[in-house]
Amino acid sequence: MSPIRPANSETDTIRSMRSRLIISLVSIAIILGLGAVISLVEYRRVAGKLEDIAGNTKAINDLRASITNLENYNLNILSCVGEESTEHLPVFDRDAFASSIYAIAKDPANRMSSQAADSVIYLLDAYLALASELESVIVADFVDSRMWYFETLKPSHDRLLYYLAGQSAELTIVLNDASSAFDNGLYRAIVPEIIAVAVTVLLFLVLGFFMIRTYINPLYRMLDALNAYRSNDKKYNYRFDGDDQLAALNDGISEIAEENRQLRSRIRTLRRDSYGDKNEE
């Protein structure tokens, strides 16, 4: 049967000081780790929103470029009607326009359905079908080209333009939503790390104060008491409350110092007695 070890043995005191330091450092590591994990998760979400913002911005720019091409084509038609000339008839690249619209609808982040893209192309084809009559309208003597433009072609153009403006507004709303989500995600990504760092700094300050108060200051006082004991032959009388290795060390120094003081006192007494005996002889 193994002997029962005293509660204040050296192993227990070492374990006590070690556990305090380990618990403090582990707590700091856990707080920093949690802040880093939360920030990492939020940063990944923010990165996804950033890709959505880039895609939404490109979609809006592409749609605006398509609208600009359509408007330039319409203005060229109006110019031909005004000049009553077929010398420079405008040409519109339908395939490029359709590819741009379907590319926008293909990206889920833009929230443009394939039905909406089909509607745009349907209105475009209706408009282009009327625009293809431009040359025959200008050449015909019995058709007023200006009336044809304003009463036949322009309403079709306006319907197409109105629908495209609506799609552009929807894309802008999507972009604003993605930007708001990005801002919120960035805030959620930064704040936990800031809090973790602030708490860590606070814990380091508390740990430093604890170390100074519990270990550093007692060590200096122990050293002062020991110097006073060694130089002035004073009693080592420094005491402090504690249940760790430092307190055990201080108790050990106090016991050794007291035993040494008693031993020196006995030696001095023996020396006086010895000198007294010699003088009597």
Q: Could you tell me where the DSSP H helices lie in 84-153?
A: 94-106, 114-131, 134-139, 145-148
Band the pLDDT of 280: cuts 50, 70, 90.
Answer: low
For residue 276, name the pLDDT band (cuts at 50, 70, 90).
low
How does pLDDT run across 32-85, given as a tens digit for each residue?
Answer: 788 778 777 777 777 777 788 888 888 899 999 999 999 999 999 999 988 888
CA distances from 269 to 65, 231, 232, 233, 265 (A): 110, 20, 18, 15, 6
pLDDT, averaged across the chain: 81
**CA dihedral of 155, 157, 160, 166, whole degrees rounded to 10:** -80
Which tokens hold the place of 234? 């004073």
State the CB neighbour count (10 A cutoff) for residue 70. 19
pLDDT at 155: 94
Given the structure tokens 């920030």, which residue do they identify?
39
Whether 34 contacts 196, CB under 8 Å: yes
- Residue listed under structure tokens 């430092």: 246
**Reduced DSSP (H G I as helix, E B as strand, rest coil) percent helix, strand, coil of the chain, to 5:** 85, 0, 15
Predicted pLDDT of residue 281: 56
**Any idea of the CA torsion for 9, 10, 14, 15, to the nearest 10 degrees?**
-40
Interatomic CA distance for residues 138 and 133, integer angstroms: 9
Cβ contact 105:116 at 8 Å: yes
What is the rounded average pLDDT of the residues 117-135?
Answer: 93
Residue pointed to by tokens 């050293």:
223
Q: Please, what is the end-to-end C-alpha distance for the chain in angstroms?
A: 61
Which letter does DSSP use for residue 153 in this model? I
For residue range 77-124, list pLDDT tens digits in order: 999 988 888 888 899 999 999 999 999 888 877 778 889 999 999 999
More confident residue, 10 or 83: 83
CA distances from 253 to 142, 230, 268 (A): 123, 12, 22
